[in-house]
């Protein structure tokens, strides 16, 4: 997975942190991939990064709050969130913030 190539700030970020319940990992992975693909098709989507160990963290980047609301209300995302509560998560937190600044480092830039 690559890091999201976001535009210059300001833009918005949704941080989804979660704890999984034991269960069907294949179904979970399939739904996560479907949501990743669907989110990428939404207007105002800028990118996504995700990692899972004991704690899962998915960070998605958005142009503005309207794009975030539209994604939150997307019918398939609503259904996936319901399944998450019923089957996959024991706990999760969603945080939304405006990115004011960012700093970058890329070792590959040093080779040039």
Is the pLDDT assigned to residue 110 strictly greater than 70?
no
Is the pLDDT assigned to residue 106 strictly greater than 90?
no
Q: pTM for the complete prediction? A: 0.91
The CATH number assigned to the domain holding 34 equals 3.30.70.100
pLDDT in tens, 54-95: 999 999 999 999 999 999 999 999 999 999 999 999 999 999
Q: What is the CA angle 70-32-41, rounded to 5?
A: 40
* Number of independent structural domains in the chain: 1
Residue 109 lies in a domain: no
The residue-averaged pLDDT of 21-27 equals 88
Residue 6 lies in a domain: no
Of the candidates 80, 68, 58, 54, which has an alpha carbon nearest to the alpha carbon of residue 11?
68
* HSE value, Cβ hemisphere, 13 Å, CA-based, for 97: 8
Residue 3 lies in a domain: no
Q: For residue 39, what are the domain limits? A: 11-101
């Amino acid at each position: 997975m690559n890091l999201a190539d976001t535009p210059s700030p300001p833009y918005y970020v949704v941080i989804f942190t979660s704890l999984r319940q034991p269960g069907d990992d294949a179904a979970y992975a399939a739904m996560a991939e479907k949501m990743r693909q669907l989110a990428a098709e939404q207007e105002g989507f800028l990118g996504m990064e995700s990692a899972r160990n004991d704690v899962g963290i998915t960070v998605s980047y958005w142009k503005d709050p309207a794009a975030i609301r539209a994604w939150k209300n997307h019918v398939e995302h609503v259904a996936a969130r319901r399944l998450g509560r019923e089957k996959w998560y024991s706990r999760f937190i969603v945080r939304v913030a405006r990115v004011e600044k960012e700093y970058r480092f890329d070792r590959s830039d040093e080779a040039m």
